[in-house]
Structure 1
Amino acid sequence: MPNAVRARATVAVGGALLLAVATANAAVAAPPGKYVSLGDSYVSGPLIPDQVNLGCLRSDQNYPSLTAAAEGFSGFADVSCGAATTDDMTQSQADGPIVVNGPQLNAVTSDDGLVTLGIGGNDIGFISIIATCAGESLTNPFGSPCTAHYTAGGTDQLAAAIDATAPKVGAVLQAIHQRAPQARVLVVGYPDILPEYSNGCWPLEPIAYGDVSYLRSTEKRLNSMLAEEAAANNAQYVDTYTSTIGHDVCQAPGTKWIEGLVPLAPAAPFHPNAQGEAAMARALEAALGS
């Protein structure tokens, strides 16, 4: 073969290979279908700049927004909303007389490629648990008054609430599959809120020393339930707890990814700050690549 012809052939083959690689990379960089995010305030990112929906306290720096930008989906809809419960997946959510969000499942359609769900904390009464335990800590900071409150009579009320929430989460997952049969569905768990290896930091954060282990085990029980419901309903669970250990409410500013009762960075009390949402995004993106 003459050298000129051989050179042209080599260029042609090389060009074809480059085109094939570029096409493959483009396919990876732009997942098919729309990404829809459903969930509560741990999803929406209340008070983290910039807030793009004041009714739901939704940030454009929450983990769904970060993941959508990183993964390059063909479309993106985030309908997460602060204070949402599993009921708000199928009914409008109101703040007093004002409707702040429509039924979140209405955003899920047959052209979706990914749906993520972060829900359950408000079903078991997250806000009231924090308020109750903070108040109880003032009466007995070195004891376990909140544990005694929720286990009075020999029944663990929070464990029972988690068990009662399980079928509700399962029903939401089934509804997602019905609306978006081709979508990949992921259930995103809750990050580490309280210290994993200590009894807390009262009075810096008003949780009695003896109550930290109970509340920590309650959160783990909630996450375990979410993982079980994901497995039982053709979904994938995303663990955000393990990767956030050591970044709980008791850590110093800059190290903490969950703000305390008096936030030192823009975030709602006992909620992820911008670093926490970024950590949850990394966990989600790692799960998407698995």
Structure 2
Amino acid sequence: MLERSPQVKRAHLLRRPLAALLTLPLCAGGLLTLAAPAQAAVPTGPTVSVTLGDSYISGEAGRWMGNSDDTGTDRDGTDRAWNGSGYDPTTVYGSTYASGCDRSDVAEVASATGIAQAGVNLACSGATTADVFRAADGGQTFKGEAPQADQLAQLAAKDDVKLITLSIGGNDLGFSDVITSCAEDYLIWDSYCNSTQQQTIDAKMPAAMAGVGKAIDEVRAAMTADGYTDSDYRIVLQSYPSPIPRSSENRYPESGWTRADTGGCPFWNVDSDWARDTLVPEVSDQLAKVAAAKGVQFLDLRDLLQGREVCSTATQLATPSSPPSATTSEWARFVDVGTTTQGTTQESMHPDYYAQLALGHCLSLLWAQSGADYACRNTAGQDASGMYLTPAS
């Protein structure tokens, strides 16, 4: 075997993997060590809590304090957009009302306290997981805005992000289509939706959950590029609450159309039970698995609205003699159906003003609990201050 010249040996050495170089003997008494490249420092700007995702965290329906079937003026005090002479939704949603992102003034990140010096809402109503991904990795512009992970990167480059809360996946599963289909089956077709919609959800679930997992990866990648380590901030993935009650907890009879004409919950009993006790728990369980696989904290919201749902027996519509109240009103927006509507239909079946205050309180409680997963529930007869955490099952 031919002996290599010193020059050839040196060239061969430089081509060896870095891992091998790190353990090469420097001399009899030490090892060759190479300094790791300097990493950008976490910004010294104000601490920030950020929310990403879809309508359930952007603040959709924050305009409404309960529900009323009165279509005039302030709708018995439930419509926060009423200014005395007309309706101005920008007082609630600001400039995002024009785009339809509908980030309300009481959205979860805005109503939470004790987490950071500032709260920033980057979520947008209607967003899918692809709207969270970075543009460099398949993310897309949505409603005139850059992908949310890219917006996060810009923010995290100047401010000290401490908490990132994500609500996403519902639009990948087609939640709005499920609601529309089930309402139409009650109002028009006199049939049930649960069987066909379950098949649709099952078919979409793998891709939707893969998208949620990638969204978490994209958030981490954006933060890493800005110089953060995993210990510098926390990611929370949250699930979705059920806006409709079980059939046994619905204050309106199944027949007679009062559920649609008055209550705004046009669903058959079997479909209500399926949505409340099968669909919502299934989605929550799948999101919990993604959170566990990705090593992020999970906030289970499946029972957040228990007893506060649209048409629930424990609540009532606001009337001229019974104004809206956090203790008696519904905590979700009813389905806007009929010839005379209030607000926009995209607000239907979303947490309203009272629920968003409750969600903010849940997030505040969770911030004090690192690591473990929790579920957030309400206390009957109390306002948002009655929210409490229990270990997630």
User: Shared fold by TM > 0.5?
Assistant: yes
Where 1:241 maps in the other structure, the secondary structure is coil
Comparing 81-90 and 41-50, the one that deviates more: 41-50
What displacement does 1:76 show?
Answer: 3.0
Instruction: Answer yes or no: is 1:34 the counterpart of 2:48.
Output: yes
The structure with the largest helix share of the pair is 1
CA RMSD of aligned residues (A): 2.4
Trace 1:1-290 onto structure 2 (pairs within 5 A).
33-49=47-63, 50-52=92-94, 53-54=96-97, 55=99, 56-67=101-112, 70-71=113-114, 73-90=116-133, 91-95=139-143, 99=144, 101-109=145-153, 110=156, 111-139=160-188, 145-150=192-197, 156-180=199-223, 181=230, 182-196=232-246, 198=248, 200=250, 201=252, 202=254, 203=257, 204=259, 205-216=265-276, 217-251=278-312, 252-253=316-317, 254-262=328-336, 268-290=347-369
Contact 2:61 2:350 in 1 (8 A): no
CA contact (8 A) 2:61 2:351 kept: no
Q: Is the 8 A contact 1:116 1:187 kept in 2?
A: yes
Whether the 8 Å CA contact 1:36–1:107 is kept in 2: the answer is no
Deviation at 1:175? 1.7
Q: Contact 2:49–2:118 (CA<8 Å) still a contact in 1?
A: yes
- SS in structure 2 opposite 1:145? coil
Is the Cα contact below 8 Å between 1:79 and 1:107 reproduced in 2?
yes
TM-score (normalised: structure 1): 0.77
- Among all aligned residue pairs of Structure 1 and Structure 2, give the percentage whose two residues are the same amino acid: 26
Moved segments of 4+, more than 4 Å: 199-202, 263-267
Q: Which amino acid aligns with 1:108?
A: L
Aligned in 2, Cα 1:169/1:235: closer, same or farther, shift over 3 Å? same
The one-letter code sitting in structure 1 at the alignment partner of 2:181 is T
CA shift for structure 1 position 196: 4.0
- 1:175 partner letter: E
The 8 Å contact of residues 240 and 300 in structure 2, kept in 1 or not, is answered as yes
Whole-Å Cα distance in 2 between the matches of residues 131 and 192 of structure 1? 15
Distance in structure 2 (CA, Å) of the matches to 1:282 and 1:244: 14
SS in 2 for 1:282: helix
**8 A Cα contact 1:240 1:283, kept in partner:** no
Letter in 2 for 1:274: Y
Q: 1:62 to 1:158 in 2, by over 3 A?
A: same
2:384 matched to which residue of 1?
A: none
Q: What CA deviation, in whole Å up to 9, does each residue of 1:25-49 have, x standing for no partner?
A: xxxxxxx832111011111122524
Contact residue 244 and residue 279 of structure 1 kept, 8 A: no
Match of 1:26 in 2: none
CA offsets per residue over residues 8-29 of structure 1, 9 Å max, x none? xxxxxxxxxxxxxxxxxxxxxx
1:140 Cα deviation from its structure 2 partner: 6.2
Contact in 2 for aligned 1:265/1:273 (Cα 8 Å): no
Please identify the structure whose Cα radius of gyration is greater: 2
Deviations 1:245-276 (A, max 9, x none): 11111132343111211399978111111001
> Any conservation in 2 of the 1:33–1:114 contact (CA below 8 Å)?
no
Q: Distance in 2 between matches of 1:210 and 1:139?
A: 16
> TM-score of the superposition, structure 2-length normalised?
0.58
**How many residue pairs align between the two structures?**
247
Equivalent AA in structure 1 for residue 244 of structure 2: L
Partners of 1:107 and 1:285 lie apart in 2 by: 23
**Matches of 2:333 and 2:353 in 1, distance apart?**
10
Q: Distance in 2 between matches of 1:147 and 1:136?
A: 10
